[in-house]
Chains A and B, each alone.
Chain A
Amino acid sequence: MAISKENYNVLSDIVGPEYISDDPVICEGYRSGPGGYENGLGYERVMTKIPGCVIMPSCTEEVQKIVKLCYRHNIPYVPYSTGFYGPRSHPHVEDALLIDLKRMNDFILDEKHFYVEVGPGMVYSPIQEECMSHGAYVVIGGGGAQASAIANLIGDGWSPLSHRIGLPHRRILGTEVVMPDGEILRMGSLAQGGDDAFWGESPGPDLRGLLRGYTGLRGCLGIVTRMAIKTLPFQPERLEPTGITPNTALALPEKRVKWINFVVPSKEAQVKAMKEIGHAEIGGAVTKVPLFWRAIAKSTCKEDFWDIWGKENEETVANFHIVRVLLIGFTSEEQMEYDERVLMDIMEEVGGVARRTKPSDESWIKNADSAGMWLMCGGYVSVDYVIETMSQAPEHGPVYADLKKKYTPPLMPDYGDPGWFQSFEMGHQGYSEFLVYWDLDDDTNAVDQFYVDTSKMNIENRFYTSLLGPHQPLYLTGPKYGPNYHEYLLKVKDEFDPKWMSHPPVPLSHDIFVDRAPWMENMKDWESPEDLEKRGYKS
């Protein structure tokens, strides 16, 4: 049911007439695809809808009023910060209200207590610039410098800099949420009733975990309108922007910040080096560099990439082992010199050889360059994020690579590339990610099948994965990763959003996609309730 004129007028009164529109051309501008993260795949084509109306609130109170009206009048709504996260952050049902949060881009830096407080419209790179100007830094997630910090932190929130700074949920401090029915929930020190967001924990259950789920719930449990994010101490010297588009980078003060690439002899040496670096508690980032990334970095355009990549083969990919380490003199030049000596000792032990490395940062410190991932093929998605042990990635990756072969083409020929991995939490954890690329003009049904097949592969091999919840069919993954993860998640959803107005039918959207898409029929070998459609959207 389209939003009635009466409800439109009420919404217009809340935000002002210039910040709401149901014009079809305005709404077309909010279409999910055809390009972008996961766009061009069946999920986007089958599950996403153009919003029926778009509204742009400026503050929590306005969000609350909007949500309360939606709840009272059964208007499905979807929170939207930047829209970068592909189809899963766009409406899935007809005539939904898209709540565009970009005007809520407040920023407060508490220099004394080392945190920043932001609204959902604030993206990472300005935060990082402000932090670095005050001797602090944050992790810009792999989603990119253009990602909403709040959206990223309640979904993913990691990057190679997570080697030191810790897992994302621990960087979430005081947080304010407008719940699906419009009630306001304040977490951390904000729960005390004051306006101080400096602390993340508070009496009672820590609901930050619920906010995130495994890797985010895509707005199906309400709207985060305010969050304090912990920052960590950095070094004092300025990282100076240099160059002109498209070749821009931060010039590094070499005695305080330095990347070094090491060639190591084997995958085992790669893992050992990362573990040892973590145990020695040195470095700001420690990551594997896949050969694929190097081809991207070297190429001057899409065509150039294919020229370079076309010269590789399974052997060159399998034998390419680079560990990239970021050293930071957090406290002094002497501290960095010490770290470098320790690093060199470790590398000598594993047979690593330092290669000449540019004294600049193109990606990760301030500009996490995720957007470049679409240059080569046009279609891209990460099919898995895994936070496990350091030794899991080298075992897990090749299994992924084998499965990918079955679906190549349409997947990009990657010569058995087993993905990338890095150190988390000073080597206490390993993070790995598996990315796939395709040409949108090809028949992409196989990519949809591959996506679900990765879950089956993980289940069969008993591999842990964090792309669960709304990212995969809940009734496929939930019974295996729980054993009743799906039931709990649905109970939580029913409790907080009994009418399922907040981004329906998430978290059942992938289940419904499988049921709706004829080319997925043969993939379904698990049980799910017959009333999925009805359960996913009760209006």
Chain B
Amino acid sequence: MANESDVRYYKPKAEFSLDITDIQNFVYDMSRCIKCKGCTWVDHTYMPGAKFMTRCPSAEKYQFDSYGAYGKMRIGHAFGEGVLDWNEKALEIIYACTLCGACDVGCKRNLDLEIELSLESLRVKAVQDGVGPMPAHKKTAENIAKNHNTYAAPHDKRKDWIADVKPADKAEVLYFVGCAASYTNKEIAQSVAKIFKAANVDFMLMPDEWCCGNTVFSVGMIDEAKALAQRNVDEMRKTGAKVLVTACAEGYRMWKVDYPKLLNISTDELGFKVLHLTEYADQLIKDGALNMNKAMNTRMTYHDACSLSRLSEPWTPYEGKRQWMGCVEPRLERRRGTNGVYEPPRDILKAVPGVNYVELPRMKENAFCCGAGRGTREAFPDLATFSAEHRLEEIKHVGVETLVTACPHCKNNFAQAIKAHGDDVQVMDIAEAICASIES
């Protein structure tokens, strides 16, 4: 157990950066948690009532404070100070977490502490200390190293999803398909291609697309993630495409936020624009280039994928000094989830004829993660299932027939939970929803 007198305060006026490879950069943030649990509760202004009060899957499932960000900050602080030893429970606490960013935006509602980066840094430390990641994550990493995808599927089958619509050899728009849409959710890739075609947009693929590295990055395997980031960014730059579009929220976050983070550049310095399909299609619809005429007569809701919403604000590297009262110099533009992609998917779905669109009680930055992403499904399937089932309760609460997501991982996780319970809810990706309303 930790020595009481050693867990004390961060030294003032110290240089720091937002580099997650050094836990010391986040000891200040971890030491300032006040247990208000803003990380766990839905923003109180939006609190929907005595049901659906929380937005942290780990805290909701495991209940002990130690699984909420308030507990993890204390545990992380003790690790940062070198007064707590890793054990199995510590690994479970650090990894049985969807890294969904709910805690981060909740904290920045009042305190501006870097919770998400602290959690990412803790996982990097687990790997650096030789105890992480979890065995299931190591298997995924092996798959990626060997076959460039997370599923151990043959790399030469990656483009097997291509059907009626053929990509161009060269185009301004590059569609990054991602592992899921390439192998397990080909319907999403095919829908995206049809959307491009309907809008008369030429698109190309990466000549040799590899996994985005979401899992290896998310579990703290920073060297492997950095190598993938460098390789993918280099390949993208070589294509000459100006815009990268993806329909995978996790891939979107990797390209837009975490590649720049790994490569110590800003999102703007990538040299190309990263857009999620929802942003791209929304603009096409608003420009009149894409017409959604076919009615979908259904009561529908939308689940905000964490990586598209609160986690998707662009990245800017930061190095500075922390001074008196914890003030930093130079001024830090904090990523608070304010500018996540919230409206484009909603605008799209509301534009579909016949749709009776309703919001979930927990929406946008307050959404409850489906539980699939960032290595959770691989290592903690029970947490992933719990989260999806918990969210489904909310989905059924508003009485919808159709649940739309904007990430294949969300779709699959919900689909499994729906199948297991025999629920009468249809789950579809937003690419499929768009496609269904443009097909004549």
Residue of B nearest to A380 (CB): B34
* Among candidates B9, B44, B89, residue contacting A25 with C-beta atoms closer than 8 Å: B89
Q: Tell me the nearest residue of chain B to A24, going by C-beta.
A: B1
Give 1 or 0 for each of B288-311: 1 = CB within 8 Å of chain A CB. 000000000000000000000010
B33: chain A residues at CB < 8 Å are 35-36
- Asked if A425 is an interface residue, CB under 8 A from chain B, the answer is no
A227 at the binding interface (Cβ < 8 Å): no
From known contacts A50-B1, A439-B326, A440-B31, infer whether A29 and B72 are also in contact, taking CB-CB under 8 Å: yes
Minimal beta-carbon separation of A334 from chain B (angstroms): 29
Inter-chain CA distance A180–B90, complex, in Å, is 33
Binary per-residue interface labels of chain B (36-67) against chain A in the complex, 1 for a CB within 8 Å, 0 otherwise: 11100101111111100100000000011111
Q: Across the interface, which residues of A come within 8 angstroms of B342, CB to CB?
A: 244
B87 at the interface (CB under 8 A from A): yes
| Chain A residue nearest to B63 in the complex (CB) | A56
Q: Is the beta-carbon distance between A441 and B74 smaller than 8 angstroms? A: no
B201 close to A (CB within 8 Å): no
- Complex-state Cα separation, A246 to B111, whole angstroms: 10
B87, A24: Cβ atoms closer than 8 Å: yes
With an 8 A cutoff between CB atoms, is B12 at the interface? yes
Quote the shortest CB–CB distance from B198 to chain A (angstroms): 31
**A-chain residues with CB within 8 Å of residue B31 when the two chains form the complex:** 34-35, 440
Most buried by B among A21, A23, A133: A23
A246 touches B108 (CB 8 A): yes
Q: Which of A102, A124, A129 contacts B63 (CB 8 A)?
A: A102
- In the assembled complex, B407 has its CB within 8 A of some CB on chain A: no
B336:A378 contact, CB within 8 angstroms: no
Question: Contact string, A48-85, partner B, CB cutoff 8 A, digits 1/0?
Answer: 01100010100000000000000000000000001110
Q: Which residues of A contact B378 (CB under 8 A)?
A: none
With a CB–CB cut-off of 8 A, which chain A residues contact B336?
245-246
Partner of B50, one of A83, A107, A440: A107
Rounded to whole Å, the gap between the CB of A29 and the closest CB of chain B is 3
Most buried by B among A126, A128, A250: A126
Residues of B within 8 A of A185 (CB): none
**Contact B89–A26 (Cβ < 8 Å):** yes
Q: With an 8 A cutoff between CB atoms, is A325 at the interface?
A: no
Give Cα distance in the complex from A34 to B27, angstroms.
Answer: 11
Contact (Cβ within 8 A) A249 B47: no
B35 at the interface (CB under 8 A from A): yes
Residue contact B9 to A440, C-beta cutoff 8 Å: yes
B92 nearest CB neighbor, chain A only: A25
A144 within 8 A of B: yes
Interface of B: prevailing SS? loop
- Chain B residues 7 to 49 lying within 8 A of chain A, measured CB to CB, are 7-12, 31-38, 41, 43-49
A107 CB contacts on chain B under 8 angstroms: 50
Contact indicator A27/B109 (Cβ below 8 Å)? no
A413 to B360, CA, bound (A): 45
Give the B interface residue count (CB, 8 A).
Answer: 69
Asked if B71 is at the interface (CB within 8 A of a chain A CB), the reply is yes
Q: Complex: how many Å from CA A375 to CA B110? A: 7
Cα distance A35–B9 in the bound complex, in angstroms: 9
Most B Cβ at <10 Å: residue of A50, A146, A366, A442? A146
Using a Cβ–Cβ cut-off of 8 Å, how many residues does chain A contribute to the interface with B?
A: 74
Q: Is the CB of B36 within 8 A of A144?
A: yes
* Pair A25/B47 contact, Cβ less than 8 Å: no
- Whether the Cβ atoms of B110 and A129 lie closer than 8 Å is no
The chain A residue sitting closest to B48, CB to CB, is A129
Does B168 count as interface, using CB distance less than 8 angstroms? no
Report B-chain residues with C-beta under 8 Å of the C-beta of A130. 49-50
- Complex Cα distance A102/B70, Å? 14
CB-contact partner of B326 in A247, A248, A378, under 8 A: A378
Residue A369 at the chain B interface, CB threshold 8 Å: yes
| The residue from A28, A249, A250, A368 contacting B66, defined by CB atoms under 8 A apart | A28
A36-B34, A102-B63, A439-B12 as given contacts; A126 in contact with B53, CB under 8 Å: yes
Residue ID in chain A nearest B65 by CB atoms: A29
Among B41, B89, B331, which residue has its beta carbon within 8 angstroms of that of A23?
A: B89
Docked CA distance A366–B105 (Å): 19
Decide if B50 touches A245 in the complex (CB within 8 Å).
no
Give Cα distance in the complex from A28 to B112, angstroms. 23
Contact between A84 and B65, CB atoms less than 8 A apart: no
The minimal Cβ–Cβ distance linking B365 to chain A, given in whole angstroms, is 5
List chain B residues, Cβ under 8 A from A247.
Answer: 338
Of chain A, the residue at the smallest CB distance from B51 is A126
**Which residue from A25, A50, A128 sits with its C-beta under 8 Å from B90?**
A25
Contact A245 B78, beta carbon cutoff 8 Å: no
Whether A34 touches B12, Cβ cut-off 8 Å, given contacts A126-B47, A248-B109, is: no
Contacts of B64 in A (CB 8 A): 21, 26, 29, 54, 56, 100
Contact A146 B44 (CB under 8 A): yes
Note all chain A residues with C-beta closer than 8 A to B50. Answer: 105, 107, 122, 126-127, 129-130
Q: Which of A130-187 contact B (CB under 8 A)?
A: 130, 133, 144-146
CA distance A37 to B34 in the complex (A): 7
B334 interfacial contact with A, CB 8 Å: yes
Q: Counting CB contacts under 8 A, is A415 at the interface?
A: no
Q: Let me know if A376 is at the binding interface, CB within 8 A.
A: yes
A481: chain B residues at CB < 8 Å are none
A372 within 8 A of B: yes
- If the complex has contacts A49-B4, A146-B44, are A244 and B38 also in contact, measured as CB distance less than 8 A? no
Taking the complex as formed, is A267 at the interface, i.e. its CB lies under 8 A from any CB of chain B?
no
- The answer to whether B74 and A39 have CB atoms under 8 Å apart is no
Cβ of A301 within 8 Å of any chain B Cβ, yes or no, is yes
Complex alpha-carbon distance, A24 and B64, angstroms: 13
Q: Bound state CA distance, A19 and B7, in angstroms? A: 27
The answer to whether B75 touches A28 (Cβ under 8 A) is yes
Question: CB distance B75 to A145 under 8 Å?
Answer: no
Please determine whether A441 and B11 come into contact, CB atoms closer than 8 angstroms.
Answer: yes
A374 neighbours in B (Cβ, 8 Å): 32, 34, 110-111
Chain A residues with Cβ below 8 Å from B112 are 301-302, 375
- Per-residue CB contact flags for chain B residues 348-377 toward chain A (1 = under 8 Å, else 0) read 000000000000000011000000000000
Whether B398 is near chain A, meaning CB under 8 Å from some CB there, is no
With A144-B36, A440-B31 known to touch, is A367 a contact of B63 (CB < 8 Å)?
Answer: no
| Contacts A30-B66, A250-B45; A83 near B109 (Cβ below 8 A) | no
The residue on A at minimum CB distance from B64 is: A26
Q: B131: CB under 8 A from chain A?
A: no
Expressed in whole angstroms, the minimum distance between the Cβ of A137 and any Cβ of chain B is 14
Q: What is the CA–CA distance of A129 and B49 in the complex, to the nearest angstrom?
A: 5
> B74: which of A28, A245, A368, A439 is its contact (CB, 8 Å)?
A28
The reply to whether A244 and B364 contact each other, CB–CB distance below 8 Å, is yes
CA distance A33 to B30 in the complex (A): 10
Q: Would you mind naming 23 contact pairs between A and B with Cβ atoms under 8 Å apart?
A: A19-B63, A24-B1, A25-B75, A26-B66, A28-B71, A28-B75, A29-B68, A29-B74, A34-B9, A34-B77, A83-B70, A100-B65, A129-B50, A244-B337, A245-B105, A367-B44, A370-B36, A372-B110, A375-B112, A376-B325, A440-B31, A441-B9, A441-B12
Instruction: Give residues in A with beta carbon < 8 Å to B.
Output: 19, 21, 23-31, 33-37, 39-40, 45, 49-50, 54, 56, 82-84, 100, 102-103, 105, 107, 122-130, 133, 144-146, 241, 243-250, 301-303, 306, 366-372, 374-378, 412, 439-442
Apart from the given pairs A25-B66, A303-B329, A441-B326, 15 other A-B contacts in the complex at a CB distance below 8 Å: A19-B63, A23-B87, A24-B87, A50-B1, A50-B2, A122-B50, A129-B50, A244-B365, A245-B43, A246-B110, A303-B327, A306-B325, A367-B45, A378-B32, A439-B324
CB-based closest 7 A-B pairs: A29-B66, A29-B71, A145-B44, A36-B34, A125-B44, A371-B36, A125-B47
